[in-house]
Structure 1
Amino acid sequence: MVSLHERAKDLFLAALDTPADARRAFVTEACGADTALFREVESLLKYHEETGATNIDDTTTGQPHTDGVTGLLSGVFKPGEVFAGRYRMVTLLGRGGMGDVWRADDLVLETPVALKLITSTGEAARAQIIREVRLARQITHPAVCRVFDVGEDAGVVFFSMELVNGEDLATLLRRVGRLTTERVMEIARQLCAGLAAAHAQGVLHRDLKPANILVDNHGRAIITDFGIAIEREDGPQQQLIGTPGYMAPEQLTPGATLTECTDIYALGLILYELVVGQHPFNNRLSRSAEPPLPSSRVTGVDPRLERVILQALKVDPRDRPQSAAAMVEALGDQPSGAQVVPPAERHVSLPLLAGAAALVLVLAVVAVWFFREPRGQTLSEQDTIVLADFANTTGDPVFDGALKVALAVALEQSPFLKVFPDDRMRETLRLMGRAPDTIVTRDVAREIARREQLKALLTGSIAGLGRNFVLALEAVNAETGDVMAREQVEAGSKEEVLGALQGAAARLREKLGESLASVQAFDVPLARATTSSLEALHAYSLALDNGSLNPRLEAIPHLRRALELDPQFALAMALLATVYSNTGQTALAPEYARRAYDLRDRVSERERFFIAYRYHRDATQDWSQALELSRSWTATYPREAFAFNSLGQSLLRFGQYEQALAPLRESIRLDAKFEPPYSNLAASLMALGRYDDATAVLQEASGARISSFPIRRMNYLLSFIRGDESTMARMLDGSVGVGQTNAAYGWQAHVLANRGQIAAAHEQFQLGIRMARQNGFQEVAGQLSIEDGEVHVLAGDCATGREELAAGLALTRDNYSLERSSRALLLCGQFAEAGEMLRQLRERYPSATLTTRVSIPIAEATEAL
């Protein structure tokens, strides 16, 4: 049962967010016949008016107080004072029912932030703020204010968020009265997009109001203050929470179930107020009557907008638009001229240089290019861009490939932008009848973008200017050819090129629609995110020549060369760990994964996720950590196919096959050419016994022209289950050729063993072992030998089995080999030898989830038989 004090506190804080002259009406209507509640709230309001205090969490007396934290937050900070050892306070931005908001400089992120300090510091308040940050961090969208950090210092709960230069809608309405229909429709579309992003994460806001929506200096609307947000799974609300004037009818009834339609109702109220300049119900709580038509109060209201508003304000949630996307659809096409764009920036001409004719010619070309002012256009979070190859006219081959890779790393730090994958680009070139290694010029990039129905392409160039270098970036609308944004920068030396490119890319991101706070938060210098050595970056780019996210054996010498040139190149280490893992080299994969993880602070946040995942997957094999990391990764980069595949793979490792399906399907939706989610999805469906669905997934992969080793393995297993010998043979033939690890020989060997043909299985195992050793895959050879030994033990031939186990362990002693060998030896009664292996497993792999939770317990159970 919610106490009287808690109810009074909630209503008091809500009243503070209403205009002073409307507070008494709010309280009277909200309290109804509850005179005790009315007196309590009236007392709090009176005390607030006399003292300015808002901290009412003294639950021993039920009375407000102003000592301690409240005094701290009343303005004692001075410019330059550092709070919590991290935030240099600048100025007080505002004060509301929950606390103060300061402009501060984050000394860790090196960026200005809005710092919210909470005056109410009871346990309930702490939980609420932690909840706010947890929920808000799940949502990455330009129309949602990004939250960076949360903490507590000297009893003060605080959190930092994106600093938006602008004003809230409440302030804007007080200043201008009301907005035009066209402007309201612009804002409506932006807010719907932000709400859709929140709802897609299962998050409801519950307190949408003009004061919680900011409009920045570029006209971009941003939803903030998820302070009382909930997840849909939280169930019915147990008390009256929110700002009364903007509550939906169902919010006024404790115990009611809230849905996306609750936020839709509040949005309808806001849009009504923006159009008319007045609340539809004059800030009353009553919601039983239909609101007056906006067109009856003001002229020039777009009928589409009016219909959307009135539908959103229906009393029954079932009669409202059922999603934010449905509201946008009902608004119809974007009106002409209604797009919100940053004001066009004026470029300053380069100074005229006297001297050689070559320099004059370069300047003339640059001037013509630079003064052709781009039309203001932005990208949305749904858009993908194609990167053209850098045009290098310097004559220095080190820039070939290296700058394109560096630019991709700079852009992909952003949760806002998505770069069209290079392997997809090569595949598109093949479909266009061009060679996969075709140089992707501006025209070719535009053709790719139009064929793939992508909005924009990005071109880059580098040219010599005396001893200096001029870099130019240009974003182009693929359909019209119009320039959307451009940047030019000059580097004084070869060593300064990466830094100059970093700055140009950051400015271009902002011009294309990303918020300044987001750019600053996700902008690790390229020399740190990659390498300061252009030569090392060039070698790294050669490893990516085939454009694959899972590079093959051919990448190894290039990555090794990159690490020779820069031993601290963390990204090259992580990619090398990936190659070794993909090719069964189980000793080298964890070694390089650990080395990359030790250097993870040198890379961008996006690459840090990738490196940490490889570490948990290959080095520690701690799938609990991998699962937690993947959830955070998908929340931060909701358009990252690799992140969703990692989440699905982690769930798959825990046997949560049903839960793995959604993220794996999302990974495929985000990048239909990315192979791993297809094989993981097929494996999950097969584990669930859904063989027809698994077949459909593998056929989908085939339709996407994907024929990788894991896909063929899944096809082989599915064909074995169905008795399809011809497909089994075809999959095997495609997996044992030149350049393969030869692990596929074990497929046929296991099938033969399953049929009781132990001698034939042994011959097949031995053939695979010889081929693997011949090709340099010692660990694969060792694993095949151990599998051969295991088959012999299960067939009752412990003598031959132990010989094969010993031969395999001489080649590899990873946990896979030790686990299988220990079980086989236990079946042969070799308890001492098996016990030593189990001891090594516990010592060497203390965090390996499957080893500690599955394999060792099974071995112990085998010993107990």
Structure 2
Amino acid sequence: MPQRDPSVTGFQSADQATGFQAADQATGFQAGTDQATGSLETWDHLASAGGPPAAARRPPTTPAGADSAGSTGPLKPGEAFGSRYHIIRLLGMGGMGAVYQAWDAELGVAVAIKVILPSEDDPTAAAELERRFKRELVLARQVTHKNVVRIHDLGEIDGIKYITMSYIDGADLSTILKREGRLGVAKVLQIARPVVSGLVAAHAAGIVHRDLKPPNIMVDTAGDAVIMDFGIARSTGTPMVDARLLPTGAAGRQHLHLNRTMVGAVIGTVEYMAPEQAKGQAVDQRADIYAFGLMLYDMLAGRHRAETATSALDELKARMVEAPASLRTLVPDIPEPFDRIISRCILPNPADRYQTTGDLEAELNRLDENGELIPIKRVVGMRILAAVVTIAFALLGGSWWYAQTLIPPAQHEPVSVIIADFQNNTSDPTFDRTIEPTLRRGIEDATFVSAYDRGRIRSTFGIQPPDKLDEVAARELAVKQGLGVVVSGSIDTRGNGYEISVKAIQTVTGNEITSATRRASSKEQVPDVVTRLVTTVRTALGDETSDSDQLFAMRSVSATSLGVVQHYAAAVEAQSNGRYEETRQSALKAVELDPKFGIGYQLLAVASRNLGNLDEADKYSKQALTYLDGMTERERYATRGLFYRVTGDYQQCMKEYGEMTARFAGDAIAHNQRALCLSKLRNMREAVEAMRQAVQILPKRATIRGNLAIYAAYAGDFQTADREARAIEEPYDLATLAIAFAQLGQGLLPEAADTYKQLATINARGTSWSASGLGDLALYEGRFSDAARLFEQGAAADLASKSSDRAARKLTSLAYTHLLMGRTGPAVAAAEKALLTSKNIAVQFLAARIFVEAGELAKARTMAEGLAAELPAEPQAYGKIIEGEIALKDGDARQAIKILSDANGILDTWFGHFDLGRAYLEAGGFAQADSEFDRCIGRRGEALSLLVDEEPTYGYFPTAYYYQGRVREGLKSERFAESYREYLNIRGKSTEDPLLPDVRKRAGS
């Protein structure tokens, strides 16, 4: 999670739906906005009767009947507010409350205090205002980001409810726009970038703002922007219920008022409302993207929308039909790339907008400070440079030519190709399925092309190609998988030689892209001729590399003999069908014929690993690295990347696949592998973005989309996880698990239980996950006996099916369950049994944690030393965490803090932050502990599977609320009991949780 930066937090709120507004242009604090709630039909009725009430259009800055000149609200400047706060001045006031600058004597800093004092003649409005007040606190605190408001506390003094935040010296965006009219592109981007960054964090936490607008954006004197007012925000995990239009009691505060937040009602601000929001439909982050786009529009175009519309309601209705006019028609000097981004944000159909703020942020990051695309400088080699210098002496135009070489070429869109089986019209079986791999390796040397022959189809798409994969069958397959090009061909005998033909067609239309025929004088010359045909295909597909350069790059392909290719093709096909011993034997024959055939050793390494021969796999991986020069450029990247991944060097893995995807943007598998390594580094947001790239290339591949769904769940984007998983049509265990995870993250526990049960009907892996998930859900809810029974039964079933690693993970969960029940003996026994079952790193780590908590410190130290001695960062970090836990158990909290901080420096894990929070708590460092537990709670998605291996671990999560309560109790926070109540909401019905008496006592319940 992003780190908290208290220097840029501030205070602003918007509660116009309750008649509350105040503004102070000097400070930029505003409490109130132009919210409107109700149904669109109600608005239509009001419009026909003369328009909506003033509060739904543009509310007054002071309430009816208030003394705008002299009223100071419920608090007086110069007076104390409780024992802690001293009121400095009024920042703004409305009919139901006010905002003040105050001095916090305890912290020794200036703060902002927002207070509410609802009218006694309108109890409904009072209850609604208090609900929103609490909602603003609860939802805003779920997001820890420097560009999202950080609310400190909610309390009550002398009957006055208040919220406190840090004071910001600045102005809200609405005030800035009123003062300056329209802003320049550079200024708009300076504001836009931090706002979208804050939105990404909010959406990752499952929070949709739903009322983004200029008054809710605070800009400090340094120009940094902060998102304010989560009063009507919605957690995507909150079920939505029916709503009705409520009247208010005071005529001076006539406004549209909403009882509940739900589908079928409308809540927000008319001027910045998304069409789907106005229709009362369910909204997600795309509604915030729409409002963000309109803010950019208004910043650049000034008040054009407001000035050209008869009313805000009419303008909204128009936007529901079509997007506002292009900005460039109003302000021609706006760069086209920036205009294109804004135009996409404000399209009426949410499916046509950016689907996530992460996508939007990535697009904005491609622009420079002036809104133009950042050029990617083409690297110019010394030979070219020397040539340019020579030309410069000879020709006056030489410098112009050199300048042109620095203009980056437009990146080619990815092209996906399926290669049909070549028709072998000779009587020589050597040519059966040997031309296709040569063709594929050569075509894929074009950076924008991904090619799939028979051997790759099953491993990539998870389907068995037909026995006869001719052009017709290949085209049908391409249509189903969304591949754009089909390549087919034939080989015939011509005298003493051979004639080889190749043809490429468009999948959908069947139109021919190119065709070519070449002759080989002998069998040995066939690979060389095939690579020359490859240049024809690549050029037709859009490769601008010269034929000679293509042939030079493919020299390793053309130099590979047919015998080697034949065994290589057999190995690839066997591997794709899961016949790993057959893969191994064919690959051995290939490297026997050509000991320098590096990709053959790579196949041997993968096959050996799948057969469980890890030492042999390591040997072959190293041999593959020895012969990189015999591989294509893409194969070299893939070989190194896979080596780093299987050896646990995820940092290098991420870098290698990152360079590969930069060079070969259309390689979906490379994007997938990069995402895997990013997830292991706990960089979930980037993992999601990498998987989005892979899904764009292979939209119908279940494994690819399933990975996107899982990583989205880990990133806390539960809506995306659910949507992407459900987009997979066929039953798929990983997608079903992602749905269960998304339901858990949204608090839909009965639905998650049903989904876990459904998992058991899919396959063996699903059955194992089902047992783990149901046990973990029971553990999460405090049904410890149920959890223990489910884990024991699941482990036994895994052992019976020879799934020792999965069985061991269930045994560690069983051990943790016993530990929570206070049964240390059974906990240690279960942990020891897990270690006897598997030596998996995750099992060692989780078992060692059990030993520490059970007081078996000698065993824990031995395991910590073993983990720390490993080369990869992950086990090293785990070893450090165990060392820190031992120090904490020994009562040395300061040493524990040092060790655990080091562990988090090695690898940023949820466990590391959780234990560091415990250590700070023991040392009395309450503020630091609060930050650590905030991070843990903010990373609830990661808690779904803490070892990032799809094994459910959400049962570890509730304890974070208990420790957060302890910390806030130590900070003397007036609302510390809220954390305890969160724990009680989860496990309060348990009859087996020894922690409950202490929690209830501390919570005062």
TM-score by length of 1: 0.48
